[in-house]
Amino acid sequence: MFSTSEIGIDLGTANILVYSKNKGIALNEPSVVAINTETGNVLAVGEEAKAMIGKTPNNIVAIRPLRDGVIADYNVTSDMLKHIIRKAGKKIGFAIRKPTVVVCTPSGSTSVERRAIEDAAMNAGAKKVHLIEEPVAAAIGAGLPVDEPIANVVVDIGGGTTEVAIISYGGVVACNSIRVGGDRLDDDIIQYVRKFYGVLIGERTAEQIKMEIGYALVEHDELKMDVRGRDLVTGLPKTITLSSFEIREAMKEAFLHIIQAVKSTLEECPAELSGDIVDRGVILTGGGALMNGMQEWITGEIHVPVHIAENPLECVAIGTGKSLQFIHRLEAATR
């Protein structure tokens, strides 16, 4: 059965999620593409390509074509989207021919970056492309009443960006988008281990450290983890033991940027909506919401209740798909 369909795509720096009205989250794959540099052919996309990072021969590279929430490599992103849409079509139960697609973009992205996302989706086979701002999609996915005249505050901590927005009556009242997210935290861990231990670790190991012993709270029960890497002096494999206090120190600067973005956005809030924020609090979405102590740490910094969305990792994708029913109103609000 060939049919025109409507899908929402969360084009994330770390993961791509596809949402369909009938199936919910139809696909959740890492935003990684493996390419043969000699032929230019795409060898693998998603989970399979991520497993290749740092483990391939010279003629094969596993790359992430999205950086800081926007397209860094247009052609590879276009190829990746083609694979993703095709794969999602099989999962949803019918071949998607020319689907109508809603793609989320960081609220701080430029018109050139938005155009690149639109073109890449059209090139991948979309019939029509709508763009929606990431925090608005996150708020819809979290079940917030975005089209009512009530302040909805969303902090979306993704792989490439952190988006903070106050949404009321279908539009963004105040927002801040900073290019600090999970990738920056991973990089800070890699640099810390290199500087203080003289050991080189890869991106996947850094991500594992962040997920297992990364803490947003300064005061917490100490966790330890054995980590293997390459000794930069001898060139041989080496095992070191890291403490969660060290990892908190390594990520300290990135956390300061995140909390500053939250405070700046709240300072821009109109007085009439401030009461709503005190009553309703702030909603955390994105992978960063799941970090140990993140909820408690932000609560302590801004003295406003902070809640984690029901499905923080899927909020943006769900919101992107659900936004189709009132996309024209949202687009009018952002013009």
Q: pLDDT tens per residue, the chain (335 residues)?
A: 334 578 899 988 889 999 988 788 989 999 999 999 888 888 999 999 988 887 888 889 988 898 877 888 888 888 888 888 888 878 876 555 678 889 988 887 889 988 998 998 898 888 889 998 899 899 999 999 988 889 999 999 999 999 999 998 878 899 999 999 999 999 999 999 999 999 999 988 999 999 999 999 999 999 999 999 999 999 999 999 999 999 999 999 999 999 999 999 999 998 888 888 999 999 999 999 999 999 999 999 999 999 999 999 999 999 998 887 766 666 555 55
Cβ(192)–Cβ(244) under 8 Å? no
CATH number for the region 2-136+317-334 comes to 3.30.420.40
The domain defined by 144-309 folds into Nucleotidyltransferase; domain 5 (3.30.420)
pTM: 0.88
265 marked as part of a ligand binding site: no
Sheet strand arrangement including 24-30? 24-30, 15-20, 6-11, 100-105, 128-133
Integer Cα distance of 98 and 104 in angstroms: 18
289 marked as part of a ligand binding site: yes
Q: How far is the first Cα of the chain from the last one, in angstroms, to the nearest whole number? A: 37
What percent helix, strand, coil does the chain show, rounded to 5? 40, 30, 30
Cβ(16)–Cβ(27) under 8 Å? yes
208 marked as part of a ligand binding site: yes
182 marked as part of a ligand binding site: no
Domain map (residue ranges) of the chain = 2-136+317-334, 144-309
171 marked as part of a ligand binding site: no
Q: What is the pLDDT at residue 266?
A: 94
290 marked as part of a ligand binding site: yes
Integer Cα distance of 226 and 38 in angstroms: 38
209 marked as part of a ligand binding site: yes
Same fold, 2-136+317-334 and 144-309: yes
Q: Which of 159, 70, 67, 140 is nearest to 107 (CA)?
A: 70
Cβ(136)–Cβ(172) under 8 Å? yes
Amino acid (one-letter) located at 204: R
Q: Which residues contact 308 (CB under 8 A, 6 or more apart)?
A: 283, 284, 289, 290, 295
Integer Cα distance of 224 and 24 in angstroms: 38
311 marked as part of a ligand binding site: no
Q: Quick one: CA torsion of 170, 107, 207, 296, rounded to 10 degrees?
A: -50
300 marked as part of a ligand binding site: no
22 marked as part of a ligand binding site: no
288 marked as part of a ligand binding site: yes
332 marked as part of a ligand binding site: no
Work out the number of other CB atoms within 10 angstroms of the CB of residue 334.
13
